[in-house]
Each structure stands twice: as C-alpha cells, then as structure tokens.
A and B are shown apart, each in its own frame.
Chain A
Amino acid sequence: MTTITPSRPVARPAVADFAHLLHAEWTKFRTVRGWVIAVIVAVLVTVLLGLFQGSHSQVAPCITGPNGPACRYVIPAGPGGESVTDTFYFVHRPLAGDGTITAEVTSLTEVAESSQTLNGRPVSTKPAVVPWSKAGLIITAGSGQGSAYAAVLVTGSHGTRMQWNYTGDTPGLAGRVSAASPRWLRLTRAGDVITGYNSADGTSWTKIGTVTLPGLAPTVQAGLFATSPGYSQQTSQQLTSASGTAAPTDATATFDRVGLHGWPGSSWTGTFVKGGSNSPYVTGHEAGYRRAGSLFTVTGSGDIAPDVTDGVPIDVLFAGLFIALVAVLVVGAQFITAEYRRGLIRVTLAASPRRGRALAAKAIVLGAVTFAAGLAGAGAAVLIGIPLLRASGNPVYPATALTEIRVIAGTSALAAVFAVFALAVGAILRHGAGAVTVVITAVILPYLLTAAIPVLPAGAANWVLRVTPAAGFAIRQVIPAYPQVAASYTPFKDYFPLAPWAGFAVTCAWAALALALAAHFLRRRDA
C-alpha cells in the first residue's frame, strides 16, 4: 500500500519570485508595440528639438553698441566660474603687502537716467532709490573683469555689508547712510585673509566678516568704488505684461577721512571698470570722481555681483521634454488601465496574489524604462546642444559638471516619477482617459499657467509650483537666485520657488501618495 502525499508546491524564495514578476511586467511592456514606439518617439523628439533649439535659438538680445549691433558677447566669469557683472567706478592705487584702508561714507544718492540722446548721454536724470546701489572700500586682485575681491560697502536700502567674490554677502550695520548717520568702513589685509569692519562713529568698530582670497597677489588694487545696477520697474502683477522698463542709474557717494595704514602713499587713479563695448549690462554714463583734500566724491554705475539675466541656461534645450512627458504619462497610465480594459489584470493578480507586489513590479519596470529613455534623450539634447548654442553665438550660462548631471539625471528621474504617478492614478481610476487627463492637468497644466503663459500672478504662481506635482520641474533650474541681485525671480523667468531637490521631493511625495492609495484600492477592490 502506498501512501499518497499531497504534492505541495515548492516554496520559491521571495526574491526569485519578485524577479519573475519584474520579468513578466517587462515582457508585457516591450511586447506592446504602441508603447515601445511612444518611448522611442519621446526620446527622438527630445533630442531633435534640443538640437533645433541649440542651432536656432537667439536667446541673447543683440546689443546695439557704438560699432553697430553685436550679438556675440562674452559674460565675464568670477573666481568660482559663475557669470558675473563687474562694472563700477574705481578710485584706486596699487598696494603691496599687508595693510588697512579706512574711510567714512557720509552720503549715498542715486539718480535714474531718462532716455538717451544720440551720442549716448542721458537727456535728464531724476532722483531714485536703488536698493542695491553700492559704494565703499574694495581690495581686488586687479581691474580685469571677474577679478577676485573683497569689499565693505553701504547700499541703497540694505544697510552696510561685506561682499566678496561676487556671490559672498554678509550684512553689517542696518540703515541708510546720511550726513547725520555716517558709516565708517575698514578693510584689513593680512596675506590672503581680508577682514571687513564697520562702525557708526569711527571709534567702536565691529567686524562684519573675514574672507580668504586664495592666491592673492602681493600687490593688489585697493580704494573706493561706487556702482548702481540698472533698475526695472514692474508695471504689473500679471506677469503677461511684466515687461517693465529698465533704466540705467548712477550712484554718487561721498567719502571722508580716507586713510591708509601700513601702506605707503602714492597718487589715486580713477577707472571705470567695465566689460567690452558689447557688455549687455545697463549702465549709466555719469561716472567719475572729484577730490578735495581727504574728501572724495565718486559716481559710478553697474554692479559687482553674479549675473543672472544675460546667460543662456542649458535647460532651454529641453523644449521636447514636454512632448515626451505627454507620451510617458499616457504610456504610464495605460500600463495598468489597458490590463483592466482587456481583463488581463485578473490573470496578473491570479499569478501574483500579493497585489502590492504586482503594482511594485509595474512601477519599477516603468520607472526604469522611463529613466533610461530620459537619460538618452536629455543627455543627448544637452551634450550636443551646448556646443550648438555656443556656435550660434549664445553666451551659455556656465554650469558645473555637477549641475549638468543634476539637470540631465534629475530631469530623467523626474520623468520616471511622473510615469509612476500616472501608473498609480491609472490603478486608482482604472480608466485610461480619466487617468491621462488627471495626470496631464496635474503635471503640465500648472507649469503652463505659471511658467509658460503666466496667467496667474507671481504670488499664486509660486504657491502652485510649491504644492502641485509640477514642483519637480525645479530640478532643472540652472541659474540660482541671489538675494543681493534685484531681478524678476519668477517662474516665468525660470526661477522656481523651491530648491531643485525640494521640488523633486514634492513630486516624489505625490507619486508615493498615489502609489499608496493605488495599492490600497488594488487590495480592497475586486479586479
């Protein structure tokens, strides 16, 4: 007599099980011709539009200089490699070795220039308040564009500050300078180290900051400077018409009791430090200085700051990305809604009774395919597009290798997260058209209304880009926003309210929430 032992399926290890699931989902994906074609088309469109952008965009405005229109210009780069504006009136003298320079600033006033006459002089000027006009003491490695420097300065309405190497900025005493409330400034050099001080009375000094300028030459240029950025008046909250008007401004500062300690005296020289004639920066024309004993009056125009308005960011090469995204969102939603329509979902769930794992396998396959496609498309668009942009005369905003990687890999990852989001919404709604509509209106419509055709006012636009899944587009922001540079930091100008990774995290949170809901419904509902 034989005993029949009921055959029991051999328990497969969970990992191998999941690998089978992944393989099954990958097979489903690659055997649907429409999806494969959609992904390939998405990659091709991203690359081709990127190349078209690179060869056809003339993003930089052509400046009409004294020698006729000039479309090719070079934006100076600072010590850190970033685009900078380095334009100011400089009353300076060469100084060797260590020493200290001190001065009392008794006034700082600004004027805005009206339209110009034919020979480039302003017809008239009128008093203005320029918040980031600057005047003070500066020690610079040279008067070449983009030289390393450290400065203590008074500003139009941001108090006394110490600034260095274009991006560094530390606040000192608050308040606007006047004859009744002057500001004493001091810069001390000791080797590579420069320390800035300020004082309200010239006796009790407070340190603002200490900076190191590596490799500073033994002989530097030091002295007084004044500069004032072109101001723009925003005429409307509604960004559609926020063209505004940019006008050159001039700042005039009065320095008293200019003193040098440890540095032997020599005569002062006045120089209008500025870029070539093709410099795109809006500068005034009344620059110069007067001296009466130890009293100096310096007038200048321009800025010593990062340049956020003139460079072409590499993300302009991503026009095709949005067409690709539509394809990715449709495929992502269909990856599960098609199973519901065809009834295949019942087979899928019978084969993998642990439904959450089936969903996870789908998400991983879809995310991996989209990420790989994104890397191919965005990578080719950027890497081939940048040389094309340069060849067609655009001053490309210098991006570090890390930024380029963040823009390319981050955008690919963003596309992958959007695809998973679409999959999750598809699993929740179980209806292809409904899911596609929801994800497109959640992902692309907020971007359209805030950054492309700015229908919403800036405040509302910033909130939309903080809370909707479109927040993740921040991952491709190339030019940082600097508080010490007055510019229109709005989504329309490609500035996002959240930092790149924070915006990406918001999109991930949406995808995670949708996936959790999808898993919940998948377990609770009959298929």
Chain B
Amino acid sequence: MRESLHAEWTKLRTLASTFWLLLAAAALTVAVSAAAAAAVRCPSGGCADDPAKISLTGIYLGQAVVAVLAVMAVSGEYGTGMIRLTLAATPHRLTVLAAKAAVLTGLVLVTGTIAIFASLLAGGLILPGHGIGPSHGYPAISASDGPVLRAAFGSVLYLALIALLSLGAATALREAAAAIGAVLGLLYVLPIIAVFTGNATLSRHLEQIAPMTAGLAIQATTGLNTLPISPWAGLGVLAAWAAGALVLGGMLLRSRDA
C-alpha cells in the first residue's frame, strides 16, 4: 500500500494540470464567494440571509474543478493507456483505487481548507459593509462560532467527498467526458428537477437524496429548521453517494479488462 500511495502521489504531483486545477478550484471558490458577498444588499436590515452560506457560494463552482481533478486521476490513465502499466505493477486493483482515493482526499482537503477559510475571510470583510454584519444583528463570521465552524469544516469535507464521488464515477465509466458529465449532471441537474416537480413533498424528498442539496445543508448556519435535511445527515447522504460510487467503481475495476 505504501508503494501504491507513493506511486499515485508521484503521478499526480508530476502532472502540471494537478497544480493548475487545484489553484483554479481554490481561486474560483474564493472569487465567486467574494462576488456573491459583494452582490448581496440588505440596506434596511432584517433580511433572512445566512452570512456563512453567502460567503461560501463559490463552492458551487469550485466543486466542478475538484470533480475534474478526480475524474482525470483515473480517466487520464485510461486515455493514455497508463492504466495497464499501473495495474500490472499493482495487481491488487483495489489497492490502486484506495491509494488514488487517499492521495486525492489529502490534496483536496488541503486545498479546500485554504479556499473555504479564504472565502469566509472575504465574506467577513465584505458583508458587514452591505448591511449583513454584527451591527445588524447577524452572527459574526468567526471561527469561534460553532455553526460557522461546522459550515467551514463541513464544506471542506464536502469537497473531499465530491472528489471521492467523482473518482468512483470515473473508475466505473472510464471515459473522462462521460464521467464528468455524469458527475456534474448528478450534482447540478437533480436540484433543478426538484424545483420543476412543483410537488412540495416530492421536491423535498429529491432535495434530501440529491448529493449537492443534501451535502450543502452543512453550510447553513441560520434557519436550520427549514432545511430539507439536517446538516450532518446531509453530509452523510453525500458520503453514501461517494461510497456507492467507489464500491461500484471498485467492483467494475476488478471485473473488467483494463
């Protein structure tokens, strides 16, 4: 396992795209978050806005880049034929998948922590000037606030789980474009369909099982009673999706020719 970890780390580290994708994920997350915070106006006060959630808006875009990184970690090898060498070197195929998952998770956790805390910092600086701050009765965005801390660490875990979900999907589908299409479709389209149903019960159930809406419940710091699913349960739903994708990917990896 240590050799596998080292091999996967070397492969990922020596690809120029890894660095650029991680940088893009962090930069886009922070940029979109700051833009969203700058766009919110609440001049008269009393808006039912959630300062922490607004400050973390960028995760909607950042997760797409994380998904690409994870998909390319597997599909890239299929594209170049490298996978045959990898599997020849490590005949126990699940070890390869586990090593990839571990290396990816580590990279995403580090990048995600930087991106999420930078986003919160930007939100904390921008939002009070727009009527959403402690002087207007909102909780300050600070690391000492329990729900904010939960939203922050939860968001980092969210990004890691998205990476694992994408890794599993890519292992199952192999083809990069199809895998990223499936992952982004799952993330972005299910919430749209939930809105379209127009049937409140059905819509709520969809939001409870859709990986993105359930997973991002972790970001809510106000109005917890209106959430479709409680924060940690929501992250659990995403974890179940990620686990399911990894199990499926692992089974197919073992049973198919590379």
Q: Does B57 contact A (CB under 8 A)?
A: yes
Rounded to whole Å, the gap between the CB of B45 and the closest CB of chain A is: 11
Q: Does A436 contact B (CB under 8 A)?
A: yes
Q: Are A56 and B202 in contact (CB under 8 A)?
A: yes
Q: Are B184 and A326 in contact (CB under 8 A)?
A: yes
Return the chain A residue nearest B53 by Cβ: A455
Chain B residues with Cβ below 8 Å from A432 are: 175-177
Cβ 8 A contact of A433, one of B40, B176, B191: B176
Q: Does A297 contact B (CB under 8 A)?
A: no
Chain B residues with Cβ below 8 Å from A312 are: 198
If A56-B197, A237-B40, A241-B223 touch, whether A440 touches B188 (CB-CB below 8 Å) is yes
Stretch among B58-66, B86-94, B113-121, B242-250 lining the A interface? B58-66
Cβ 8 A contact of B180, one of A49, A57, A437, A453: A437
Cβ 8 A contact of A53, one of B46, B191, B198: B198
Cβ 8 A contact of B177, one of A330, A445, A456: A330
**Consensus secondary structure, chain B interface:** helix
Q: Does A236 contact B (CB under 8 A)?
A: yes
Q: Does B229 contact A (CB under 8 A)?
A: no
Q: Are B188 and A237 in contact (CB under 8 A)?
A: no
Q: Does A449 contact B (CB under 8 A)?
A: yes
Q: Are A449 and B60 in contact (CB under 8 A)?
A: yes
Interface string of B180-201 (1 = CB under 8 A from A): 1100110011011111111100
Chain A residues with Cβ below 8 Å from B208 are: none
Task: Give the complex CA separation of A448 and B196 in angstroms.
Answer: 12
Chain B residues with Cβ below 8 Å from A327 are: 181
Chain B residues with Cβ below 8 Å from A435 are: 177
Q: Does A452 contact B (CB under 8 A)?
A: yes
**Consensus secondary structure, chain A interface:** helix
Interface residues of A in 225-264 (CB under 8 A from B): 235-238, 240-241
Which interface residue of B46, B72, B179, B188 has the most chain A CB atoms within 10 A? B188
Q: Are A441 and B64 in contact (CB under 8 A)?
A: yes
Q: Are A444 and B188 in contact (CB under 8 A)?
A: yes
Q: Does A434 contact B (CB under 8 A)?
A: yes
Cβ 8 A contact of B191, one of A56, A59, A452: A452
Size category of the A interface is 35 or more
Q: Are B177 and A326 in contact (CB under 8 A)?
A: no
Chain A residues with Cβ below 8 Å from B64 are: 437, 440-441, 445
Chain B residues with Cβ below 8 Å from A163 are: none
| Number of B interface residues in the complex (CB < 8 A) | 47
Cβ 8 A contact of A436, one of B39, B40, B184, B197: B184
What total of A-B pairs shows CB separation below 8 Å?
138
Interface residues of B in 138-160 (CB under 8 A from A): none
Interface string of B43-62 (1 = CB under 8 A from A): 00011111000100100110
If A235-B46, A235-B47, A238-B47 touch, whether A456 touches B39 (CB-CB below 8 Å) is yes
Q: Does B165 contact A (CB under 8 A)?
A: no
Q: Are A457 and B61 in contact (CB under 8 A)?
A: no
Chain B residues with Cβ below 8 Å from A341 are: 79
Stretch among A69-77, A126-134, A316-324 lining the B interface? A316-324
Q: Are A326 and B60 in contact (CB under 8 A)?
A: no
Rounded to whole Å, the gap between the CB of A62 and the closest CB of chain B is: 11
Task: Give the complex CA separation of A117 and B228 in angstroms.
Answer: 32
Q: Are A322 and B202 in contact (CB under 8 A)?
A: no
Q: Does A459 contact B (CB under 8 A)?
A: yes
Task: Give the complex CA separation of A330 and B180 in angstroms.
Answer: 9
Q: Does B254 contact A (CB under 8 A)?
A: no
If A238-B47, A322-B189, A433-B71 touch, whether A456 touches B196 (CB-CB below 8 Å) is no
Task: Give the complex CA separation of A433 and B191 in angstroms.
Answer: 22
If A433-B75, A433-B177 touch, whether A57 touches B49 (CB-CB below 8 Å) is no
Q: Are B184 and A440 in contact (CB under 8 A)?
A: yes
Rounded to whole Å, the gap between the CB of A171 and the closest CB of chain B is: 28
Task: Give the complex CA separation of A445 and B32 in angstroms.
Answer: 12
Task: Give the complex CA separation of A253 and B164 in angstroms.
Answer: 66
Q: Are B177 and A447 in contact (CB under 8 A)?
A: no
Cβ 8 A contact of A452, one of B35, B65, B192: B192
Task: Give the complex CA separation of A433 and B54 in angstroms.
Answer: 29
Q: Are B195 and A452 in contact (CB under 8 A)?
A: yes
If A235-B47, A432-B176, A453-B213 touch, whether A437 touches B67 (CB-CB below 8 Å) is yes
If A57-B198, A433-B177 touch, whether A448 touches B193 (CB-CB below 8 Å) is no
Rounded to whole Å, the gap between the CB of A429 and the closest CB of chain B is: 11
Chain A residues with Cβ below 8 Å from B5 are: none
Return the chain A residue nearest B207 by Cβ: A453
Q: Does A477 contact B (CB under 8 A)?
A: no
Task: Give the complex CA separation of A433 and B192 in angstroms.
Answer: 22
Rounded to whole Å, the gap between the CB of B37 and the closest CB of chain A is: 10
Return the chain B residue nearest A337 by Cβ: B177
Q: Does B27 contact A (CB under 8 A)?
A: no
Chain B residues with Cβ below 8 Å from A318 are: 196
Other 4 A-B pairs with CB < 8 A, given A59-B199, A330-B181: A323-B189, A326-B181, A440-B185, A445-B64
9 contacts between A and B (CB under 8 A): A236-B49, A237-B41, A319-B192, A323-B193, A326-B181, A434-B68, A447-B192, A452-B191, A456-B39
Among all A-B residue pairs, the 7 with the closest Cβ atoms: A432-B177, A319-B196, A460-B39, A330-B181, A433-B176, A326-B185, A241-B48
